[in-house]
Amino acid sequence: MSIYLSAALASNRKGRFLQTVAGATPLESDWLNSPPACGLLLVQAEELTNYEACQSLYLWAMQAGCAALVINPQMAQLATLAELPITLDWSLAPTTLSAQEPELTALLATETDQMITGFAGSADRLQHMAGDAVHTRYIRKHSNSGLFAVTTLPLWSLSLLDHAEVLVSWLNWFLDHAGLAAPIAEKKTALAEYSPDKYDLVVLLLLYAGSGKSLTALCENEAVKLMFDVHSLDITKRSDILLQHGFINEAGLTEAGKTALKTSQYWAYAPLLSEQLNTGALSA
């Protein structure tokens, strides 16, 4: 699998350094619209400007064979990540790393002044920590899912100019722990065979009627609570399933999603729910 850079990252000095030293491949278009099929995608934290961008990157990264690594994090972006259904409680705190740590951490110790605090997710002792300080933290659903990670290490540092193999080895760790992507032929078969169940259809209905609102916000709406048992939806699981099978994307429902909804009994709820959500009727 390959290492990719977002188009925005590839256009600046950090990205050009990573292309030269790590052999990373720049994406030609916005990852929100055209993410790679699999591999490790490096994204600047400043690209995660809103909830939708964070959710799109997270959902892509949870697919087997995919890994997202967010670099140069700031508190604003971490606060947005905290809004995701998985509840990432990550924050930044000042730190001083020990130069006695293995390989990459030692090379960047004097240039790293922040660590990631929080309880969600994991950190590999050798790869992601210096003493008790965690400079890189990741989360994944299970052993064969993809992963989503954030690091405070300055991977674009000139200190790595003569240590390309160390940087590439460190980046490859994420690929090695991102699960195995299913062959394309098998994926197409799965897409053709999957039929949304009643919970999937409720999620499709909410996204259709919500006109761009996040599922989290929709499930907290009083009008929605009056019509559906939102506690039984498990919106994170449902979103992943619908995304993987082509019923939704970062923009909302796909044509397949609209067709599935319109041919179901839940389509009858669409006009009323849409009116309530978009006019404020019956909402909190």
Pairwise CA distance, residues 128 & 144, whole Å: 20
98 Cβ contact partners less than 8 Å away, ≥ 6 residues apart: 109, 130, 131
Summarised one tens digit per residue, pLDDT across range 48-73 is 988 899 999 999 999 999 999 999 99
Q: Point out the domain boundary residue: 148, 181, 214.
A: 181
Buried b (16+ CB within 10 A) or exposed e, 201-232: bbbbbbbbbbeebbbeebbebebbeebbebee
Top mean-pLDDT range of 123-132, 193-202, 212-221, 227-236: 123-132
Q: Give the C-alpha separation, 264 to 25, whole Å.
A: 43
Number of domains present in the structure of the chain: 2
Query: Could you report the per-residue pLDDT of 237-260, keeping only the tens digit for each?
Result: 888 889 988 899 877 889 999 999
Look at residue 244 and tell me if it is in a domain. Answer: yes
Domain boundary among 161, 181, 201: 181
Specify whether 136 is located in the same domain as 205.
Answer: no
SS3 135: coil
Same domain, 190 and 148: no
State pTM to two decimals: 0.64
What pLDDT score does 284 carry?
Answer: 41
pLDDT of 58 reads 94
Ordered alpha helix ranges (H), the chain: 7-10, 13-22, 51-61, 75-81, 103-108, 125-128, 164-176, 184-193, 198-210, 215-219, 222-227, 235-244, 255-262, 270-279
pLDDT at 17: 97
Domain-located, residue 156: yes
- Which residue range forms the structural domain that includes residue 248? 185-279
Same-domain check for residues 56 and 86: yes
Q: What is the CATH number of the domain that holds 39?
A: 3.40.50
**228 compared with 24, residue with greater pLDDT:** 24
DSSP string of 38-82, one letter each residue: SEEEEEEGGG--SHHHHHHHHHHHTSTTEEEEEES--HHHHHHHT
Q: Report whether 103 contacts 170 (CB < 8 A).
A: yes
Location of structure tokens 């699999």: 38
pLDDT of residue 281: 52
Residues 125 and 236 in one domain: no
Residue 181: DSSP 8-state: P
pLDDT in tens, 143-175: 889 999 999 999 999 999 999 999 999 999 999
Q: Is 204 part of a structural domain of the chain?
A: yes
pLDDT band for position 118 (cuts 50, 70, 90): very high
The C-alpha angle with vertex 37 and arms to 31 and 41, in degrees rounded to 5, equals 50
Q: Are residues 118 and 245 in the same domain?
A: no
Residues 209 and 233 in one domain: yes
Task: State the amino acid at position 185 in one-letter form.
Answer: A
Whether the predicted pLDDT of 231 surpasses 90: no
Q: Is residue 284 part of a domain?
A: no
What's at 174, amino acid-wise? F
Question: Quick one: pLDDT at residue 282?
Answer: 43
Higher pLDDT, 276 or 117: 117
Is residue 118 located within the same domain as residue 237? no
